[in-house]
Amino acid sequence: MKRREFIGAIAGATAATALTACGKDEAPVQVTSAAPQKTYEWKMVTTWPKNFPGLGTGANKIAELITEMSGGRINVKVYGAGELVGAFEVFDAVSRGNAQLGHAGAYYWKGKIPSAAFFSSVPFGLTANEMNAWLYYGGGMELWEEAYKPFGLIPNPGGNSGTQMGGWFNKEINSVEDLKGLKMRIPGLGGEVLKRAGGIPVTLPGGELFPSMQSGALDATEWVGPYNDLAFGFYKVAKYYYTPGWHEPGTTMECMINEAAFNELPADLQSIVRNAIKVANGDMLAEYTARNQQALQTLINKHGVELRNFPDSVLKELKTISEQVVEEEAKNDALSAKVWASQKAFRDQVVKWTEVSEFAYVRARGL
Ligand code: CA
């Protein structure tokens, strides 16, 4: 469907009404020079349940900011998963121009664009802070744009969950053997790692996870972190809550823009769209940090959830497998190889800074 647009009423435009003196003997003539301003009706489709805490509300925030900052010249209507298109149809819908914006996670499109997974999260890869550093200042955005260009899409980081949790299990994980035959919802590269460790990875949208755990169709699931996992009620269907989320150390959400729709906008509105998304990117991480710590206490103290650390031996083995999986994935596709080379070089450098700065401080604070 073609984007609806209409001409805004002159009264609503920032009309410039000028008084022009045409000559000393002539009365001033009032000239209305206001070109009626075009307004744009945009749709945003999302892979999240409507208004879902953090993810859905993060998408809402982008829409609200664009509408507010543009003074209503762009009106964005948000659709939750299944309202306009299904959760995993977001990419195609925005690519075709059925919606102008899409809020999702790039790793969902791994089957279409192998390199997409590197723009959301890589097992044992970058943290949220490091990911933003790579994207904005380390060459990441240029590569992401290259990956989405053939689909008529402009990518943007549109939020970050921070370090996720390892997931919900009904048995203790004491060795990698315990992962064998385990049917677990875990998307992207993390899923490939689980498969290599003998598990059975499943990709399902968030809304299907609770019933799948309840019916036993899934043995285990990861989702995000305490804030979101509490909202889905996983504590009712699983006993152990494992940390850390080795598979998603700082997952970047995305807000893709249909390129043709973006190119139709005047420069000031283009800047508003890009910067509204940028504001929301940082805002989501702040919200997750604030809410996760509250929700974790609720899960433990109110719902009796047992918090567990994956043993170091399990993490070491998963890390070794992760390195192999990521290298192999990168070799299968020319752009993935280029993206991974960039991200790996950045990781190997930034890890030294993170260790002497934030990590050293957090350690010191705990003494
Ligand atoms: Ca996750």
User: How far is the centre of ligand 1, averaged over its atoms, from the C-alpha of 126 (Å)?
Assistant: 15
Ligand 1 centroid to 224 CA: how many Å?
A: 4
Q: Cα–Cα distance between 13 and 288 in angstroms, integer?
A: 38
62: domain CATH number is 3.40.190.170
> What's the 248 CA to ligand 1 centre distance in angstroms?
6
- Is 62 contained in some domain? yes
How far away, in angstroms, is 26 Cα from ligand 1 center? 72
pLDDT at 32: 56
pLDDT tens for the chain, 367 residues: list them.
444 444 433 333 444 443 444 444 555 555 555 666 899 999 999 999 999 999 999 999 999 999 999 999 999 999 999 999 999 999 999 999 999 999 999 989 988 999 999 999 999 999 999 999 999 999 999 999 999 999 999 999 999 999 999 999 999 999 999 999 999 999 888 999 999 999 999 988 888 999 999 999 999 999 999 999 999 999 999 999 999 999 999 999 999 999 999 999 999 999 999 999 999 999 999 999 999 999 999 999 999 999 999 999 999 999 999 999 999 999 999 999 999 999 999 999 999 999 999 999 999 999 9
Domain presence at residue 233? no
- Structurally, the chain folds into a number of domains equal to 1
Specify the pLDDT at position 153: 98
> How far apart are the CA of 252 and the centre of ligand 1, in A?
11
| Residues having C-beta closer than 5 Å to ion ligand 1 | 164, 222, 248
Report the separation in Å between the CA atom of 222 and the middle of ligand 1, taken as the mean of its atom positions.
6
Chain mean position to CA 51: 15
The pLDDT value given to residue 3: 44
Establish if 314 belongs to a structural domain.
no
CA of 186 to the centre of ligand 1 (A): 7
Residue with tokens 């031996």, as numbered in its chain: 313
| Structural domain contains residue 317 | no
Distance 216 CA to ligand 1 centre (A): 20
pLDDT at position 335 is: 98
Report yes or no on 219 lying in a domain: no
SS3 105: strand
- Separation of 347 CA from ligand 1 center, angstroms? 21
pLDDT digits 0-9 by tens, 84-103: 999 999 999 999 999 999 99
Distance of CA 119 from the midpoint of ligand 1 (Å): 14
Read off the pLDDT of residues 185-201 as tens digits, 9 standing for 90 and up. Answer: 998 889 999 999 999 99
C-alpha atoms less than 13 angstroms from C-alpha of 290 in its C-beta half-sphere: 8
Residue 140 belongs to what domain range? 40-158+251-289
Phi-psi region of 27 (alpha: psi -120 to 50; beta: other; left: phi over 0): beta
Long-range interactions of 31-38: CB distance < 8 A, separation 24+ = 34/10, 36/7, 36/8, 36/9, 36/10, 37/8, 37/12, 37/13, 37/73, 38/5, 38/6, 38/7, 38/8, 38/73
Asked whether residue 244 is domain-assigned, the answer is no
List Cα–Cα distances, 207 to 88, 204, 231, 287, in angstroms: 12, 8, 11, 21
Residue 96 lies in a domain: yes
List pLDDT tens digits, range 35-77. Answer: 668 999 999 999 999 999 999 999 999 999 999 999 999 999 9
pLDDT of residue 253: 98
Whether 194 is covered by a domain: the verdict is no
Q: Given phi > 0 = left and psi -120 to 50 = alpha, else beta, which region is 128?
A: alpha
Strand residues in the chain grouped as ranges (E): 5-7, 17-20, 29-32, 38-46, 74-79, 101-105, 153-154, 157-160, 167-169, 183-185, 200-202, 220-221, 240-243, 252-258, 306-309
Please report the DSSP string for 166-226 in residue order. -EEESS---SGGGGTT-EEE--HHHHHHHHHTT-EEE---GGGHHHHHHHTS-SEE--S-H
Instruction: Show the tokens assigned to 101.
Output: 């914006």
